[in-house]
Each structure stands twice: as structure tokens, then as C-alpha cells.
């Protein structure tokens, strides 16, 4: 079991590859379809995700794994082929979102804790039987704005760290690799130093909890936020500062036993997420592989190009292939703005 977990974790952070986050809930993907005026039916959701998974150049060369939603894990392509098989045939690993979302945390106004531990052992067993080789659980840490400096509380950080650790232990018991995702949101007017402080405390608490729950770190992948300025902060940190503070924070908190770190984009623009990742890889020597696990930052251009029309599938796949290639280069520290414009 240990060897299998380590093998899968290493494959998830293969050189020059990253993870496609295609695990949008039904509600979330409806919001994205609304923006392109496409009805969010089960068939349309399947068509969109199938076009991504059948983008062979992207999937084979730059995607190590795909995080799926429950519905997608069970779907077949238009020709009857299971979507899981299409992903595997492209050389990528199928994964599954297993949490039930962030809910209000009792006694902590404005803060949340992610739920979904009830029945998780049984769900993991079923998902493994359906082909999932890894899972994802997202904890949400909000930074208060203005007079809400007390948010996040240590109480909320520890509650989420405990849930992440219990989830990770159950995943490994069930033979699948847990992606541990503590996301410090970039929403708000806080500066980059406030993001750094909250991210540092969060990661310390997460790894304390993982240790206490006897989680094999070599069989995990971390999916954190980058250390960035809040969206509404008037003083936005530059690319090099983001890279420097992100790596410094990780070096102070993440054990070297962890095989890899796949950053979430967290609302960054497509190009910003790529530029930051490339700077992080190009400027520093670290004990882990540093890559991406992007949703919107990989899909936004493809979704807009598709717009629900069959005649646009090739254009959408070209847009997805481009973003996958750019992020693959960034995962090796080789992306440049010139390459972005030349494509």
C-alpha cells in the first residue's frame, strides 16, 4: 500500500506536468455556463469536459491528473467510452473531489469548516472501484477585511486542519492519494504580508494535524494558495515578490518528505497564475516539485471559445492546449511573456 501511494503521488507531480481541476460542483459550473449562455444540463457538462479530456496534446504532455466531480467520474463519452478510460488512455490519473463544501462554523461568524467526513470511508471505497487514484478536499480560510482583523481565528484554522487530516488518513486507508488543499482566499483588501502570516499559520497547523493522524507524507500532494496581495489591496505585489514570499513560506512550513506542491490559482488571471508559477520554479531551489492544479486558469479561455457549439470544439481544444503548454513550461521555470504572445 505504501509503495502504491508513493508511486501515484510521484506521478501526480511528474516533471513539466500539472493537475487539471475539473471538479466544479453542479452549482459552480452552472455559473460558468451562464456567462457563456449555455444551459447547464448533464449532457452539456459532459460535452464540455469530454472536449478537454480528448485534447490529446495537452493531456499527454502537460497533464498528470484530472480532479473530477462525482457526476463526471460516472459519465461515458458520446461514443460510450467511460470518461475515466479516456483520461487513463491519455496517460493521466483520474481523481475525485470528496468534500461536501464549506459550511458556516459554529461560534465563528464569517468563518467556515469543510464538511463531508460522514460516510467518507464508504465513498472512498466506491470511488476507488470506479477508477479514482487520488482525491481532493478543500478547506477555505478567509482573511477579514477592514475591521475584521480577527478573521481567521485559530479555532477555524484548526477545525479545518483537523478535517483535512481525517480525510487524508481515510484516503490512504482506502488506497488513494489525498490532495491536501488549505486555501487562504485572495478575496479582500489585505496586503501580501497579511496573506503570508495567515498562510504560514495555516500550513503549520495542517502539518501538525497530518502528523497526529499518522498520514504518510510521501503519499500526499499539497495544493496551497500562493502568497499574494488581496484582490482589493491597492498595493499589488509584483511577480518576484509573490515568488519569493511563497517559497519562503513553504520552506518554513512544509516537510521535505512531501513529494510535490501543486498550486491552486485562486482567482488569479490565467497569465498571472502562469507567470507566478514560472518565477517560483525559475528563481529558487526547493526540496519539492512545484507545479499547478488549476481550474479557471486552465479552462477559462477554452470555455469561452467553446460557448456550447459543436463547431467550436477545435478552437476550444486549441485554447486549452495552449494554456496547458504554458503552465507546463512554467512548472519547469521556462515560461516567458514572449512565448505566451508567440503562440
Would you please indicate which residues are annotated as catalytic (active-site) residues?
223
8 Å CB contact between 17 and 291:
yes
And the C-alpha cell for 175? Answer: 488506497
Between CA 338 and CA 323 the distance in angstroms is 14
- Residues ≥6 apart with Cβ < 8 Å to 282: 333, 334
For residue 16, the 8-state DSSP code is: T
Chain length of the chain: 343
- Phi, psi torsion values for 103, nearest 5 degrees: -120, 155
Say which residue the cell 449562455 belongs to: 37
Grid look-up 452539456 returns 44
- Using alpha carbons, select from 298, 98, 287 the residue that is nearest to residue 179: 98
Residue 181, helix vs strand vs coil: strand
CA-to-CA dists, residue 71 to 45, 47, 79, 118, angstroms: 9, 13, 17, 19
Q: Which residues are within 8 A (CB) of 300 and not within 5 positions of it... i.e. 6 or more apart?
A: 270
Between the alpha carbon of residue 18 and those of residues 9, 195, 225, the distances in Å are 12, 24, 15
| DSSP string for 43-90 | HHHHHHHHHHHT-HHHHHHHEEEEEE-HHHHT-B-TTS-BHHHHHHHT
Q: How many CB atoms lie within 10 A of CB 318?
A: 16
Output the nine-digit C-alpha cell for 294.
Answer: 488549476
Amino acid at each position: 500500500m505504501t509503495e502504491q501511494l508513493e508511486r501515484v503521488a510521484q506521478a501526480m507531480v511528474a516533471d513539466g506536468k500539472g493537475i487539471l481541476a475539473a471538479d466544479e460542483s453542479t452549482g459552480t459550473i452552472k455559473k460558468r455556463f451562464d456567462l457563456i449562455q449555455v444551459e447547464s444540463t448533464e449532457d452539456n457538462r459532459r460535452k464540455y469536459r469530454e472536449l478537454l479530456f480528448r485534447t490529446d496534446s495537452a493531456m499527454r504532455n502537460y497533464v498528470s491528473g484530472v480532479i473530477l466531480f462525482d457526476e463526471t467520474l460516472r459519465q461515458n463519452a458520446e461514443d460510450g467510452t467511460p470518461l475515466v478510460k479516456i483520461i487513463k488512455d491519455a496517460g493521466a490519473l483520474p481523481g475525485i473531489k470528496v468534500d461536501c463544501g464549506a459550511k458556516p462554523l459554529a461560534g465563528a461568524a464569517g468563518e467556515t469548516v469543510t464538511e463531508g467526513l460522514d460516510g467518507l470511508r464508504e465513498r472512498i471505497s466506491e470511488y476507488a472501484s470506479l477508477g479514482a487514484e487520488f482525491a481532493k478536499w478543500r478547506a477555505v480560510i478567509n482573511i477579514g477585511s477592514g475591521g475584521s482583523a480577527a478573521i481567521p481565528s485559530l479555532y477555524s484554522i484548526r477545525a479545518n486542519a483537523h478535517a483535512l487530516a481525517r480525510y487524508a488518513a481515510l484516503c490512504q486507508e482506502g488506497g488513494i492519494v489525498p490532495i491536501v488543499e488549505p486555501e487562504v482566499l485572495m478575496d479582500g483588501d489585505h496586503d501580501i504580508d497579511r496573506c503570508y502570516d495567515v498562510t504560514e499559520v495555516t500550513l503549520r497547523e495542517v502539518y501538525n494535524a497530518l502528523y497526529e493522524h499518522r498520514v504518510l507524507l510521501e503519499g500526499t500532494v499539497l495544493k496551497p494558495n500562493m502568497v499574494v496581495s488581496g484582490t482589493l489591496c491597492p498595493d499589488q505585489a509584483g511577480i518576484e515578490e509573490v515568488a519569493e514570499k511563497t517559497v519562503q513560506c513553504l520552506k518554513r512550513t512544509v516537510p521535505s518528505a512531501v513529494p510535490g506542491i501543486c498550486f491552486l490559482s485562486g482567482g488569479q488571471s490565467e497569465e498571472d497564475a502562469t507567470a507566478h508559477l514560472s518565477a517560483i520554479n525559475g528563481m529558487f531551489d526547493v526540496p519539492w516539485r512545484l507545479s499547478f492544479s488549476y481550474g479557471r486558469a486552465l479552462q477559462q479561455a477554452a470555455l469561452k471559445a467553446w460557448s456550447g457549439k459543436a463547431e467550436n470544439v477545435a478552437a476550444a481544444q486549441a485554447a486549452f492546449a495552449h494554456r496547458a503548454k504554458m503552465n507546463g513550461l512554467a512548472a519547469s521555470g521556462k515560461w516567458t511573456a514572449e512565448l505566451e504572445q508567440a503562440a
